[in-house]
A and B are shown apart, each in its own frame.
Chain A
């Protein structure tokens, strides 16, 4: 079942003649994790905003094409976007982390008991249960990003959109976040993640979409996309393991994870 469908989508920001997205078609199914990769300015964040229904509704601009998202919008099962910088996502309404996490479902009009149960569960999953009574303004960037993750998990999204979600996290925090993304997919959500953590992509995503100048350059399994020499020359590159194989002068397809490299050996 398709959760997100983009059909020939082009998008222009206000006062710009150059499209930020150009004729993009993409489908993300239930339980699927798709990674968006690309150079800076390739359009990954814009695509996530379009998928989240924020562009052009909130950003302004012009959109051509069709965007469809399956699932109710307001009673849970909607689409939620996690941005890279936690400080800009703080509602400022929460005296405690528990209040901050409850901000989203409260806006959706959920009953209080459901908000409390979902909030406690989301905080536990994001690893911030022990911070529940802390003032969000006193947290570190990494702690705050995990709080923001709990905030979006509380809303039980059918489509989870992640924009460079590990930017503020250390290695353990990033691994925990990817594990949560896999759990979300396991419960049936569709996950679309824009990331420059290319080493994590092969173990995380079943598909990789390479964006360049707002257009889809490649869409396929990680091993296939990272086997294309063009993504190394003109795109963001690929996982470090594959880079080692390339540097050694070996022919593609290169292993894209340590596990695949061990098998290839």
Chain B
């Protein structure tokens, strides 16, 4: 799956939640969720990702069951969890650099492509930065582990420096990217555009057609 063209990965990640939301009844979201879980199981460290999906979905399920009848709550919960599962799958596989290469190869400007890919690329950078801030704060005596109350108390000491430093880094990153020609008025050379195939293109069109058909059936 990691060798698929980024467009195909995105199409598949969009197809599952789209069908889960558009097709009436609980069967489609259940199948879509099962498919999303199966996809996540094929990624590196799958149990960790599934646990993250479960943790993210849990509050939604809780409030859905508090606010809606059980059948309705389960239906919406399945749909939301499918969305989170598909996002976890594509987040694990989609390399920002490959996405940018694919977009540039299709004629997008480097700046517009970077706007999309750079957002994804920032995730590991911010995560690494947050880890460094956490280590620095622990060196200064802040307790960030242990009981939930202790962790909650530490949040503001971690979040504030993270937000401020990310904003500062954003300024510097813009300068660094501009000086390396991101805003140049020429078309970027694709270095290693991801391979595509007629079968993948057909699958993407098929996914789009399935979504449109489901939408049409829903409206009718």
A residues at B contact (CB < 8 Å): 49, 52, 54, 57-59, 73-74, 78-81, 83, 85, 87-95, 99, 102-112, 115, 137, 151-152, 155
Q: Report if B185 contacts A (CB, 8 A).
A: yes
> Is A94 in contact with B172, judged by CB distance below 8 angstroms?
no
Q: Report if B176 contacts A (CB, 8 A).
A: yes
> Is A89 in contact with B176, judged by CB distance below 8 angstroms?
yes
Number of A-B pairs, beta carbon distance below 8 Å: 104
**Chain B at the A interface: mostly helix, strand, loop or mixed?**
helix
> Is B181 in contact with A83, judged by CB distance below 8 angstroms?
no
Contacts of A91 in B (CB 8 A): 114, 118, 121, 177, 180
Q: Which of A58, A99, A110, A112 touches B178 (beta carbons < 8 Å)?
A: A58
Apart from the given pairs A58-B174, A73-B184, 10 other A-B contacts in the complex at a CB distance below 8 Å: A59-B171, A80-B180, A81-B175, A81-B179, A83-B175, A88-B173, A89-B172, A99-B97, A99-B191, A107-B188
B113-125 near A? 1/0 per residue, CB < 8 Å:
0100110011011
> Is B169 in contact with A87, judged by CB distance below 8 angstroms?
yes
Contacts of B169 in A (CB 8 A): 85, 87-88
> Is B181 in contact with A85, judged by CB distance below 8 angstroms?
no
Q: Report if B6 contacts A (CB, 8 A).
A: no
Q: Report if B12 contacts A (CB, 8 A).
A: no
Question: A91-B180, A104-B181, A155-B180 known; A109 and B175 CB under 8 Å?
Answer: no
Contacts of A111 in B (CB 8 A): 189
Contacts of A107 in B (CB 8 A): 110, 180-182, 184, 188
Q: Which of A74, A102, A112 touches B185 (beta carbons < 8 Å)?
A: A74
List 18 interface pairs A-B (beta carbons < 8 Å), by A numbering: A52-B179, A59-B171, A59-B175, A74-B181, A79-B179, A88-B173, A90-B125, A91-B121, A92-B122, A92-B124, A95-B97, A99-B192, A104-B181, A106-B189, A106-B191, A107-B110, A107-B188, A137-B128
Question: A103-B180, A107-B180, A152-B180 known; A112 and B189 CB under 8 Å?
Answer: yes
- In the complex, how many angstroms separate the beta carbon of B135 from the nearest chain A beta carbon? 15
Which residue of A has the minimal Cβ distance to B121?
A92
Interface size class on chain B is 35 or more
Contacts of B176 in A (CB 8 A): 81, 83, 88-89
Which residue of A has the minimal Cβ distance to B119?
A92
- In the complex, how many angstroms separate the beta carbon of B155 from the nearest chain A beta carbon? 23
Contacts of B100 in A (CB 8 A): 93
CA distance A74 to B179 in the complex (A): 11
CA distance A111 to B173 in the complex (A): 26
Which residue of A has the minimal Cβ distance to B100?
A93
CA distance A99 to B189 in the complex (A): 12
> Is B191 in contact with A115, judged by CB distance below 8 angstroms?
yes
- In the complex, how many angstroms separate the beta carbon of B12 from the nearest chain A beta carbon? 22
- In the complex, how many angstroms separate the beta carbon of B183 from the nearest chain A beta carbon? 8
Contacts of B95 in A (CB 8 A): 95
B99-121 near A? 1/0 per residue, CB < 8 Å:
01000000000100010011001
Contacts of A88 in B (CB 8 A): 169, 172-173, 176
B25-36 near A? 1/0 per residue, CB < 8 Å:
000000000000
> Is B189 in contact with A115, judged by CB distance below 8 angstroms?
yes
- In the complex, how many angstroms separate the beta carbon of A135 from the nearest chain B beta carbon? 10
Question: A94-B97, A137-B128 known; A108 and B175 CB under 8 Å?
Answer: no
Q: Report if B160 contacts A (CB, 8 A).
A: no
CA distance A94 to B114 in the complex (A): 12
Among A79, A95, A99, A109, the most chain B Cβ lie within 10 Å of the Cβ of: A109
